[in-house]
Amino acid sequence: MFQRVLIANRGEIALRVIRACRELGIESVAVFSEADRDSMHVKLANQAFCVGTARGADSYLKIDQIIAAAEVAGVDAIHPGYGFLAENAQFNEVCRSSGFEFIGPSPTAMEKLGDKNTARSMAIAQDVPVVPGSDGLIADFDRAESVASEIGFPVLIKATAGGGGKGMRVAESPEVLKSQLEAARNEALAAFGNGGVYLEKFVERPRHIEVQVIADSHGNVCHLFERDCSVQRRHQKLVEEAPSPDLPDDARKAICDAAVRMIAGADYVGAGTVEFIVDKDYRFYFIEVNARIQVEHPVSEMITGVDLIQEQIRVAAGLPLSFEQSSLVPQGVAIECRINAEDPTKNFQPCPGKITSMFAPGGLGVRFDSHATTGYTVPPYYDSMIGKLIVHRPTREMAIATMKRALDELQVEGISTSVAFHHWILNNEEFLSGSVDTKYVDRAYQGQS
Amino acid sequence: MFQRVLIANRGEIALRVIRACRELGIESVAVFSEADRDSMHVKLANQAFCVGTARGADSYLKIDQIIAAAEVAGVDAIHPGYGFLAENAQFNEVCRSSGFEFIGPSPTAMEKLGDKNTARSMAIAQDVPVVPGSDGLIADFDRAESVASEIGFPVLIKATAGGGGKGMRVAESPEVLKSQLEAARNEALAAFGNGGVYLEKFVERPRHIEVQVIADSHGNVCHLFERDCSVQRRHQKLVEEAPSPDLPDDARKAICDAAVRMIAGADYVGAGTVEFIVDKDYRFYFIEVNARIQVEHPVSEMITGVDLIQEQIRVAAGLPLSFEQSSLVPQGVAIECRINAEDPTKNFQPCPGKITSMFAPGGLGVRFDSHATTGYTVPPYYDSMIGKLIVHRPTREMAIATMKRALDELQVEGISTSVAFHHWILNNEEFLSGSVDTKYVDRAYQGQS
Amino acid sequence: MTSDSPRGGDVFDIDRIRQIVELMEQHELSEVDLQQADDRIKLTRGGTALPPAMLTPPAPVTAASSPTPASTPPPSTTTEGTDAPGTVTINSPMVGTFYGKPNPESKPFVEVGQAITEETVVCIIEAMKVFNEIPAECSGKILEVLVKDQEPVDFGKPLFRIQVDG
Amino acid sequence: MTSDSPRGGDVFDIDRIRQIVELMEQHELSEVDLQQADDRIKLTRGGTALPPAMLTPPAPVTAASSPTPASTPPPSTTTEGTDAPGTVTINSPMVGTFYGKPNPESKPFVEVGQAITEETVVCIIEAMKVFNEIPAECSGKILEVLVKDQEPVDFGKPLFRIQVDG
């Protein structure tokens, strides 16, 4: 097993990895920007190195500085967390060539799955259902027209290098196809330096259901069941839960098996998430693979009892998974609310600043993963998430009741948080009935408290 | 169901009851002393009433003031928590005669079980094994001598009204019987105004194992399995866990069944704990019943998923238990460490004062129940517990690893805490092997960190 | 709290402490914390740094029915920092319901401007069906009635502001 | 990281405290916390402290090898509060290992008392097998070498204290 691991990240995920390291008896090494000098991950790590100034591009994205810190600290491996360099195949490569294990899949697997178009072909090869569409990039408008008429309108135009909704356009009818195609191309070019786009059937009222998977280097691939992440605002997840509130057992089995096939066919070692969209008839279509740990991994941990970060580290060290698929029996219902330093009544505008007073909720069934505390200043340079409030109770009804009281209990003074939104959604009929689709929040929420 | 409940307590247990009320949609009414004006239970309750000055005798023990607050607030019921008035049959009686449901057993049941001697007779009647000894009070020395020679030395002399080790003496041999008998009588008289004592066989190296029980008014009596509370210092519990680390399944079934028989035979409604001592051959002997919720109830909640405070409120309102015995399947291992404002290196001397900075641990498997936060001043007037750190993991080994890292993570500045003791015990061979008896800490711990 | 109390002898130098306090007041410092080896001077103004027990509590003027005569602080402790000198408050000695009149029809026990003696009954507080007459316990003039009739009051709640004699 | 520690002596010196308080007031400081070994002076004014992001960071003197010339604050920001005027520190522009000498046998690049120009190479920082020569980027005199040979340094770590010319 590793003796020492460097965590190339900040905030709650850096803390999360430090916790896993401590429980495994591994020393943790933090890196930080000048803006994070007093941050909790710096306090709790065994060692910490400043790698640059505040802006992410000047610190957490500085591959040379992070590798230099790894060398000076003499670590065995590097955990990238999520965001920043987590899906950067070049960083992955540099870590390994510098003699550090990268806690994640190989650069090749990362690259292949990272390209939506390649990933789609892999899915088809593994008999994993995909949204009908252009198998490959759209060369020109003629090709777009023929594909669109073949699969039928409305069609979705997506950037092959895309993510987070950028370079994505819906063409409702043939009339707007050309204009939307060009819009998507330009946006993709600007955002990713790659204007390649493809077409697919636009699924109406889709739900976002993803499957947590983890694979070791001994050929074991296990899933930790699904997460429903349909509560999104502009493609940003706000609430996640496991299991899905509305998925028949046969559909659950089919989607989890499909995810395992996808990963088993990708020569993949580590934790990953296979994302699907699911229509009202529970037909599911592969969307993409996230070749990293995700923000919402705790809900899967809660219902299975498996520590996903510890398992990531184990498999990266060449050990087999500590469990077998058959030993996993999901228990109860887990829900996560992302607590962001944002004002939901002001269009979720970020509001960094000093937390003058904070009380973390406790009690039965409550888990609060956060690096924030009284006196902590939320810097303006990074994403606005200051914590994840997770509950785990025997039933969904109980879980919702526990989440409501934990949100009431959470006191954060000095900045605004997204708590008001969470109260709204937890009292929302659509949410309670489990029928929220990924566009619902954008349709229904206008800053109500 | 109740609309509004008054909580006649303070600190973490007041918070615990408020949490249960919120999840049940019940309004909570707090009472507080002038020393607790800024306390968290006052902030989180729907209403709060100051009932007196700092000393417990002038506030939390003022029955008339608490009842007056209940009348002014118009509550339906009163939850006594633990300590203070929780086992005061007179308060119980006054609550009911004033028209408020008392959340706990009837005054009669409380009184009968509260008297060790009566409780012992009830145990014998229910075929629950008791420590061999004088069935009844010891009138004089001659009676003591005959009983002692009959059951054999060493013998334990206990006050019938006793508790917390007061009025308790061991006589190793006939020579010291007289002196120890008088010492016990005098101590009991001073402490409880009742010099009645009885004799029993002194069990060497006993382990303290207790069974959580709860009964409704529909004749249902269920147990939530056992807790091992053998880690004690001078009869004060410091660490509790469920299930017991060393108890064969047949012994577990026998002890849990005995506890249910005891409560079923006591015309009892509410939560209670039946305490036993267990010898090295897993023979168990009834000690006493605590007719209230206990500090360590969370470990039983963690392994069963049952919210004990919510169930207390349900059964007090006349509703049946929300579960059946057969539906309870214990999951994993839970451990609780009591975090006290005490300095273990200075003989656990209490150290109240201002918490200048505090960080509450989080992450997978961690529950922290505490009313303390940055800026909170621990008053010198009450017990020194500032929080309960509870972990729940699939195995005992994992639970211990998680507890260690959570203790590392818990940061309390400005006052000393018992954390150093917990690190010692969690690394202690006897503890790891599950063979700690109730005297072990007194024998082995001299303030090591 | 023991950690707040200096141990070294010359740390108790009143002159120095007075000078520091003057500095704090004059410059609105909220806290001064000086330590050297075991010596430490920590002074805090306002805020919550003082343990509640050390704050001047809104304490009851002793009343016949006071639940805690033993623990009742001297009347001087009811002087409020913001008040003009010579004014005190009469605080509730118990939890209950405040009645300003003996019965709905009659006029109040006392009214603003009225002179009172220590024996003057200023109100009734009803608790557990018992109507407790609350004597002023100080002599002077009623400046203000601080609660409404039939308002619930808790322990230490200020009821009247009094201009004391002399 | 904080380098403003009292020059030993009696931390209870009222004149010094007054000076500090006046400094705090005229400079709108919210808190001063000075400590050295067991000695400590901590003064707080009003409510909240400034967010770290707004505090002047220990920033690198621009060096050719600086990873962040764009975001490098002006040299003045490396002046340290309690230093005599005209002194600055040369801070590490990168994470790596500090070498005071070109090789183990030879003598140090610079020594205390030595005059330097902006081009003077003051040390080497080795990172990822690359030996980066660090120029002074300011002219003056070496007052102090702040790190030991072959000591690991991170970004912004003060390496030398310099008495600047003029």
Helix ranges restricted to H, B211-328: 249-264, 297-304, 308-316
- Measured CA to CA in angstroms, residue A64 lies from A61, A204, B304 at distances of 9, 45, 50
Residue C143 near residue C69, CB atoms below 8 Å:
no
pLDDT averaged per 10 residues in sequence order, chain A, 449 residues: 98 98 98 96 97 95 96 97 96 98 98 91 96 86 92 89 77 93 90 87 92 98 98 95 97 98 97 96 95 98 98 98 97 98 93 95 98 96 96 98 97 96 97 96 89
Looking at residue A195, its pLDDT comes to 87
Residue B186 near residue B134, CB atoms below 8 Å:
no
Question: pLDDT band for position D35 (50/70/90)?
Answer: low
Rg (CA), chain B: 21
User: Catalytic positions of A, please?
Assistant: 292
On chain B, the residues whose CB falls within 8 A of the CB of C96 are 68, 72
pLDDT > 90 fraction of chain D, expressed in percent and rounded: 43
Q: Out of C11, C16, C29, name the one closest to residue D43 (CB).
A: C29
Residue B371 near residue B41, CB atoms below 8 Å:
yes
| Cα D45 → chain centroid | 26
Looking at residue A193, its pLDDT comes to 84
Interface contact B351, partner C, CB < 8 A:
yes
Tokens of B79: 């939850």
Residue A269 near residue A327, CB atoms below 8 Å:
no
pLDDT tens digits for range B77-104: 999 999 999 999 999 999 999 999 999 9
CB contact under 8 A, B408 and A368: no
Residue B19 has pLDDT above 50, yes or no: yes
CB half-sphere exposure, C57, CA atoms < 13 A: 27
Residue B358 has pLDDT above 60, yes or no: yes
Residue B173 near residue B160, CB atoms below 8 Å:
no
Interface contact C51, partner B, CB < 8 A:
yes
Pairing of strands A357-359, C158-164: unpaired
Residue D2 has pLDDT above 60, yes or no: no
On chain C, the residues whose CB falls within 8 A of the CB of D10 are 36
Q: Choose, from B16, B292, B314, B393, the residue flagged as catalytic.
A: B292
CB contact under 8 A, C68 and B64: no
Closest CA to B448 of B424, B412, B418: B424
- Quick one: which H or E segment has residue B401? helix B396-409
pLDDT tens digits for range D113-151: 999 999 999 999 998 888 999 999 999 999 999 999 999
On chain B, the residues whose CB falls within 8 A of the CB of C154 are 49-51, 69, 72
On chain D, the residues whose CB falls within 8 A of the CB of C45 are none
Q: Out of D14, D38, D46, name the one closest to residue C36 (CB).
A: D38
Looking at residue D24, its pLDDT comes to 61
Looking at residue A250, its pLDDT comes to 97
Mean pLDDT of chain D: 71
* Adjacent-strand bridge partners of A339: A387
Tokens of B299: 């470990």
On chain B, the residues whose CB falls within 8 A of the CB of C53 are 34-35, 54, 379-381
Q: Can you tell me the distance from the alpha carbon of A44 to that of B443, in angstroms, rounded to the nearest whole number?
A: 34
Global pTM? 0.82
Phi and psi at A346, nearest 5°, equal -115, 50
Question: pLDDT band for position D5 (50/70/90)?
Answer: very low
Looking at residue D50, its pLDDT comes to 32
Which residues does B contribute to its contact with A (CB < 8 Å)?
Answer: 15-16, 19, 22-24, 40, 43-44, 298, 301-302, 305, 307, 331-332, 357-360, 362-370, 373-375, 393-394, 398, 401-402, 404-405, 408-409, 411
Chains that touch B (3 or more CB pairs under 8 A): A, C
User: Would you say how long chain B is, in residues?
Assistant: 449
Calculate mean pLDDT across residues B110-134: 92
pLDDT tens digits for range D62-101: 333 333 333 333 333 355 544 567 899 999 999 999 999 9
Phi and psi at B216, nearest 5°, equal -105, 180
Residue of C nearest to B71 (CA): C128
Q: Where are the beta strands (DSSP E) in B120-244?
A: 155-163, 166-171, 197-201, 207-215, 221-233, 236-242
Q: Can you tell me the distance from the alpha carbon of A83 to that of A13, in angstroms, rounded to the nearest whole number?
A: 10
Calculate mean pLDDT across residues B49-70: 96
Looking at residue C79, its pLDDT comes to 59
Mean pLDDT of chain B: 95
Looking at residue C10, its pLDDT comes to 55
Give the number of other Cβ atoms within 10 Å of residue A369's Cβ: 22
Choose the mutation target among C3, C4, C18, C35 for the interface with D, i.e. most D CBs under 10 Å: C35
Calculate mean pLDDT across residues B226-246: 96
Low-confidence residues in chain C, pLDDT < 50: 1-9, 46-77, 81
CB contact under 8 A, B67 and C97: no
pLDDT > 70 fraction of chain D, expressed in percent and rounded: 52
Q: Do chains B and D touch (3 or more CB pairs under 8 A)?
A: no
Q: Out of C1, C95, C156, name the one closest to residue B72 (CB).
A: C95
Query: Does residue A386 sit in helix, strand or coil?
Result: strand
pLDDT tens digits for range A386-409: 999 999 999 999 999 999 999 999
What is residue B109's DSSP assignment? H
Residues 6 or more apart whose CB falls under 8 angstroms from that of A28 comprise: A4, A5, A6, A7, A17, A18, A21, A22, A44, A45, A46, A47
Interface size between A and B, measured as CB pairs under 8 A? 99
Looking at residue C11, its pLDDT comes to 58
Closest CA to B104 of B311, B382, B262: B311
Q: Out of D12, D42, D45, name the one closest to residue C28 (CB).
A: D45
Looking at residue C140, its pLDDT comes to 95
